[in-house]
Chains A and B, each alone.
Chain A
Amino acid sequence: MSPALLLVQALNGLELGVLLFLIAAGLTLVFGVMDVVNLAHGVQYMLGAYLAVAFLPWCGSVWAAIALAAVASLVLGALLERLVFRHLIGADHLDQVLATFGLILLAEEGVKLLFGPAPRTLPVPALLSGAVPLFGGLHYAVYRLAVLAAGLAMAGLLWLMIEHTRTGMRLRAGASNAPVLAALGVDVGRLFARVLALGAMLAGFAGAIAAPIVSVDPGMGGPVLILAFVVIVLGGAGSVRGSFVAALLVGLTDTLGRGLLDAALIAALPPAAAHTAGPALASMLIYLVMAAVLAFRPAGLLPARGRA
């Protein structure tokens, strides 16, 4: 693989990584702080994309559509917290699975009903269309760079919030030991409500900024949810820092692994065998990494303090 192609793959990997981080950040806190299984978090990502698509004809600007989608996701998250998730705190994991699986069916069928099953797209904003030339004659889409930058900026804001605000301090304390935090007089229920709404907003924002580069369809939340789970297991439940590192690791492993493995297998095996084994091995790579991490560090790479 040429150095320029390697750079393109690495950029793609980072971009996937920051999107995964935006989705995993809220989810890991919901797991870590409140021990709630939320299978419906991928739905927030999907709804974020659809909200942007729906807002576009109404407000006319992709920028405004994405911003509105993020705000609407926040409202939706707060609403779902009130109607559903509030009641799931402390419930059996199996009931949480049942409820959130029901939510997935509701949301996906609802979207199909409103938008039809065919994939939609969001146009790339005019300002960010076009491509920047890399060396070696390759180009890279400006919008993809913007997604990377937006994701990193969000991650930075989140870091500021978690390290330097009172809510952030409580979140860190909750991830380490929620019962003690509650015993100290902190309203853990309200904290949870905020985390859930914030997580929904981040996932919805990720869906909205991904909408111009992926196909927007009702099932788009599923694969992303599974990757976010891998990120959480790798990073350690409740650890936002861990999620960031793990998300980039998963993004890079997935895209770079695909390219490098293909090249290595083509060199080592007859072409027919390489073309069969390559994609399978590459898709499995992140799960193999996860299995290895679990075998040696069951609490994850960077577990929340007091959990290792």
Chain B
Amino acid sequence: MRRPRLRQSGVVLAALLLAVLALAPVAARLLGNAWLLALATRAGVFAIAAVSLQFIVGFAGLASLGHAAFLGIGAYALLMLAGAGWDEMALSLPAAILAAAAYAWPTGWLALRTRGVTFIMITLAFGQMAFFVAESLAVYGGDDGMPLDRAPPLFGSRLLARPEAFHALVLLLLLALLLAARRLGAGRFGRALRAAREMPGLAASLGFDVVRVRLIAYVLAGGVGGLAGWLLAVASGFVSPALFDWRLAGQLLVMVILGGVATPEGAASGAIFLVLVEEGLSAADEHGRIVLGALLLGAALWRVRRGRAG
């Protein structure tokens, strides 16, 4: 009977972390430190990205190392549309989502033919492919990337140029995504995905199209990844091929694993925790990431040990 309480505590933790993020604008104003607000916004954006990756990792049981590609595609969609003067959010945001989903579909169809370690490597390879394309786009800065001229207008208004407003948008989107993901996971589609994860043979013989269910999850995850990419581009005001980097994909995967792969709120908590810890450590010391490495290694060995114990 421990499990339901653990789940409950996961929701409480996520709610607490969200509350901390929601209070960031107040803290930033009181302390006169704009960096705090930017940090909280970044944590929110990464939480959205981690929740999207959790669709694949948690529900389908497949570890992807190519998720950064969707973020990159979403960000480049905004950059390209901005170049044509069409950065209006009502247009560029759906375009970013669709572009990322459009890449997820064929690559997912191919990658989902494999399982386990091979799936990890294939998704990594598709991520690299997208990376090289972005790197070759000389018009958009090649491997340096380029800055966005301005925050995208929202129905013509300059609202998103205000950090507090953009922060609120990120948190609202994160909350909506969490609620939607929980509903989806608890519903028929989530059950089909879990059935496909636990016993693919049985699920198939019951009439579920296992590959199709997984592909839908993969494309959904890609689309939401595109959303996160759009947000990340606006948050940093800069778009570069580094968004496609496999290290970013690895970081996203680490966020999901740390927070607990089973639930969307776990993934969100993992992301918020990791962003805050990493940025905190980097701010404290130039080589702070070394502590993070030790932390991740320790966490993994501890998890393995606990898993063995029972």
Contacts and interface: CB of A to CB of B under 8 A. Distances in A.
Interface in A88-110: 88, 91-99, 101-107, 109-110
B176 interface: no
A112 B128 contact: no
B304 A87 contact: yes
Contacts of B297: 84, 98-99, 102-103, 106
Contact of A84 (B128, B135, B253, B301): B301
Contact of A102 (B132, B138, B293, B304): B293
Interface string A25-57: 000000100010101000000000000000000
Contact of B121 (A91, A102, A230): A230
Given A229-B125, A233-B122, A294-B113, A101 B289 contact: no
A84 B305 CA distance: 12
Contacts of B300: 88, 95-96, 98-99, 102
A200 interface: no
Contact of B293 (A91, A106, A291): A106
A288 B246 CA distance: 18
B116 interface: yes
Nearest to A300: B118
A224 to B, nearest CB: 12
A237 B122 CA distance: 13
Given A109-B290, A276-B137, A230 B125 contact: yes
A94 B301 contact: no
Given A97-B250, A222-B246, A226-B125, A102 B296 contact: yes
A264 B253 CA distance: 40
B110 interface: yes
Contacts of A183: none
B290 A113 contact: yes
Interface string A283-308: 11001101100110010000000000
A98 B299 contact: yes
Interface stretch (B32-40, B41-49, B199-207, B254-262): B254-262
A98 B298 CA distance: 9
Contacts of A295: 110, 113
B124 A31 contact: no
Interface string A260-295: 000000000000000111011001100110110011
Contacts of A94: 57, 63, 253, 257, 261
B136 A294 contact: no
A39 B296 CA distance: 13
A294 B113 CA distance: 8
Interface string A105-149: 111011011000000000000000000000000000000000000
B290 A88 contact: no
A104 B301 contact: no
Q: Which of B132, B294, B300 has the most CB of A within 10 A?
A: B300
A232 interface: yes
Contacts of A106: 290, 293-294, 297
B283 interface: no
B133 A280 contact: yes
Nearest to B253: A97
The dominant DSSP class at the B interface is helix
B309 interface: no
Nearest to B247: A222
Interface residues of B, number: 49
Interface string A138-169: 00000000000000000000000000000000
Nearest to B138: A276
B305 A287 contact: no
Interface in B272-298: 287, 289-290, 292-298
Contacts of A226: 124-125, 128, 246
Contacts of B299: 98, 102
Given A99-B300, A233-B121, A294-B122, A280 B307 contact: no
B304 A280 contact: no
A146 to B, nearest CB: 30
A87 B132 contact: no
A98 B125 contact: no
Given A112-B287, A279-B136, A35 B246 contact: no
Given A280-B136, A294-B110, A105 B117 contact: no
Given A93-B120, A97-B120, A98-B254, A113 B287 contact: yes
Given A287-B126, A290-B125, A98 B296 contact: yes
Contact of B257 (A95, A110, A237): A95
26 contacts: A37-B117, A84-B301, A92-B304, A97-B63, A97-B65, A97-B257, A98-B257, A98-B297, A98-B303, A99-B300, A99-B301, A101-B253, A101-B254, A104-B250, A104-B293, A106-B297, A109-B287, A110-B290, A222-B246, A222-B247, A226-B125, A283-B129, A284-B133, A290-B122, A295-B110, A295-B113
Interface of B: 57, 63, 65, 110, 113-114, 116-118, 120-122, 124-126, 128-129, 132-133, 135-138, 246-247, 250-251, 253-254, 257-258, 261, 287, 289-290, 292-301, 303-305, 307
Interface of A: 31, 35, 37, 39, 84, 87-88, 91-99, 101-107, 109-110, 112-113, 222, 226, 229-230, 232-233, 237, 275-277, 279-280, 283-284, 287-288, 290-291, 294-295, 298
Q: Across the A-B interface, give the 9 residue pairs with the lowest CB-CB distance, nearest first.
A: A105-B293, A102-B296, A106-B293, A280-B136, A99-B300, A102-B297, A283-B132, A109-B290, A98-B300
Given A97-B65, A97-B254, 12 more contacts: A91-B307, A97-B63, A98-B297, A101-B254, A102-B296, A105-B292, A107-B293, A226-B124, A283-B129, A284-B132, A287-B126, A298-B113
